[in-house]
Amino acid sequence: MGICDGRIVVITGSGRGIGREHAIEFARQGAKVVVNDLGAEVDGTGSSAGPAGEVVDEIRGMGGEAVANGDDVSDYEGAGRLIQTAIDSFGTIDVLVNNAGILRDRMLVNMTIDEWDAVIRVHLRGTFAPTRHAVEYWRNRSKAGETNDARVINTTSPSGIYGNVGQTNYGAAKAGIASFTVIAAMELGRYGVTVNAIAPAALTRMTENLGGFGEAPARKPEEFDPLDPGNIAPLVVWLGSAESASITGRVFNVQGDHISVAEGWVAGPGASKGDRWDPAELGGVVPDLVAKAAPNANMGGRRS
């Protein structure tokens, strides 16, 4: 028994890292889990059935219920098969966690079109496609007079909502996911679906070469590790539970033991003329507005 007892959960990219921890914690909290993973490398190349199967075996070894799925979530038909796997295996779907992602970092002046397209496809299309299939299922249930208590939980990133050098492709995709979350929440509430996102920070195979975390200090096994990817799962599992029904359209920062609500773009200092601006006038206006505006946040989500 747990806060997600009996809930049916699909998690993309859950063979390793943060996604794996989501799957294990959902199962620990009583959920039945579809573990989706291509078993690809960090850059998205290659595939292996091993990672997803290993997580399923671990969940079953705990006494839980889980099945593996190896579909590519950025393929629209594959994403449909993933959602159908949950329905065929467990009768329905209650929660979709969009977690799958890759990295192909490069400074903009050196980035290739393939590096851009691959990252945008996996993150943005790989969030849209499973969500599109899941919400069609929930909408049909709603139209048939059934009620939903459903959740979509997306994965953005500090790189997307705050910015990080060398990640114009990844950051643009993750910023898009944050906006997707806000808008989808507006649209789907009528069907009993909430949509939220997390911006996690943890040490995984995707982040171990990025820097910014510093050298991890030596710790005893029983000591709390703020960079452990397992620290991200409790918030995601709670967002997937019935307890979170009143929370939608929000993005949460989460690292270690710290959770905060990310506050999105707001209109800052402004000026009006009452008529069309002459470009020559703006030299005396725009710099003053920028000087009055709050600075952009750093990767930690804080303003200097």
Catalytic annotation, residues:
157, 170, 174
* CB-based contact 250:256 (threshold 8 Å): no
Cα–Cα dist 170/115, whole Å: 10
